[in-house]
A and B are shown apart, each in its own frame.
Chain A
């Protein structure tokens, strides 16, 4: 089972509840804005502790409130592509890309920096600060940074948003490659029905 997620979280004004078991390499999470899709991703990455639940990815239990298991974010090794990119503003693009790469064990890296730079077309950006990037450029760097950290699974929060059509298509192709060649578990949040249709082996709705 790639994703076994069962969680309940109460924000006071709204509740997020999800039960999901998926054996598809790429599972899509869909639902209206505010349904808690990002909350689910944060809980899986370890950035938010749900009130109750159990989270396991590819057989590894990351969180289990019943057994007091709560792995630290840095032990979970999620490749999280945030909706808002979150590049480090005081580091150039090259340093942003290297941040997670340096921390990952060399034996677990599965993609080379040159390949990432080439795939995402960010060679010209390496010497720039995030403040001097466009929205699409920022997003591409954020994706590259997550891939280079040698993640065990990917959490993609609308990764194609704000990419132009050709770039979005290259990204979809890359995601397909990761899915088919590496079999890396991926959870994709997307509003694009056609995209979800094409990429996801399983679609889960959150409401």
Chain B
């Protein structure tokens, strides 16, 4: 079984991924709604920006985070002076990196589920006396819940595997930012750590599989047999 240090790595990974997903769900849903329902001139640009972390090398994303959220960066220096929060070299920074990397996947899943909600149902709700907000809260939101769950689970799995942006932005500090992939990478640098690498690899495969299966289950349960994440 796992050593205490390895369990700590697993615990840190779960914490980082959980925080990353909780942070991203509202943002991703808002973006997904805008992309699914609004039409305006800058839409294509917004769409591209959201998808950027999916196609840009993760190390570049990490570098951009460093520029923005680093100690001397515009957002980073403000966070530090206003709230005393430092993101670089800390697990919160790892969570931010994972959140940014998971965002496109989460937006995609949620956007699809919002687009699948028949807009005519929203029109029906409005004609029955519901304000725009009430129609959203009682029709669009509940009907797109499977997509929110699926997006969150996908984002969680993606966060667990996040490597490049994390090591660039939050660095590889044991007990602070050394999540599963970083621990596996570190193990590969050491002679004689093969069995540790294997154990951590198996754990990350199991966790990712569980997240995927759970999201598939959630979607099927709430949306019927025809809905899929995978």
B142 interface hit (Cβ, 8 Å): yes
A103 interface hit (Cβ, 8 Å): yes
Q: B124, A149: Cβ atoms under 8 Å?
A: no
Q: B142, A78: Cβ atoms under 8 Å?
A: no
* Contact residues of B between 105 and 142, Cβ < 8 Å to A: 118, 120-121, 123-132, 134, 138-139, 142
Q: How far is the CB of B168 from chain A (nearest CB, A)?
A: 43
Q: A89, B143: Cβ atoms under 8 Å?
A: yes
Interface-centre pick from A73, A99, A146 (highest chain B CB count, 10 A): A73
Interface bits A103-115 vs B (CB < 8 Å: 1, else 0): 1100000000000
Q: Describe B's contact surface by its main secondary structure.
A: helix
Q: B143, A90: Cβ atoms under 8 Å?
A: yes
Chain A residue numbers with a CB within 8 Å of B127 are 45-47, 73-74, 76, 78, 80
Q: B125, A99: Cβ atoms under 8 Å?
A: yes
A77 interface hit (Cβ, 8 Å): yes
Taking A46-B126, A88-B125, A90-B142 as contacts, is the C-beta distance between A74 and B131 under 8 angstroms?
A: yes
Chain B residue numbers with a CB within 8 Å of A78 are 127
Among candidates B123, B130, B139, B142, residue contacting A47 with C-beta atoms closer than 8 Å: B123
Contact-residue bracket for chain A: 20 to 34
- Number of B positions contacting A (CB below 8 A): 18
Chain A residue numbers with a CB within 8 Å of B121 are 86, 88-89
Q: B120, A104: Cβ atoms under 8 Å?
A: no
Among candidates A42, A72, A84, A99, residue contacting B128 with C-beta atoms closer than 8 Å: A99
Chain B residue numbers with a CB within 8 Å of A89 are 121, 143
Chain A residue numbers with a CB within 8 Å of B130 are 74, 99, 103
**Measured CA separation A80–B125 after assembly (Å):** 10
Binding site for A on B (CB under 8 A): 118, 120-121, 123-132, 134, 138-139, 142-143
Q: Which 3 A-B pairs have the closest CB atoms?
A: A100-B128, A103-B129, A73-B126
Given A76-B127, A86-B124, 20 more A-B residue pairs with CB atoms under 8 Å apart are: A45-B123, A45-B127, A47-B127, A72-B126, A73-B126, A74-B131, A80-B127, A86-B120, A88-B121, A88-B139, A89-B143, A90-B143, A99-B125, A99-B128, A99-B130, A99-B138, A100-B128, A103-B130, A104-B129, A149-B129
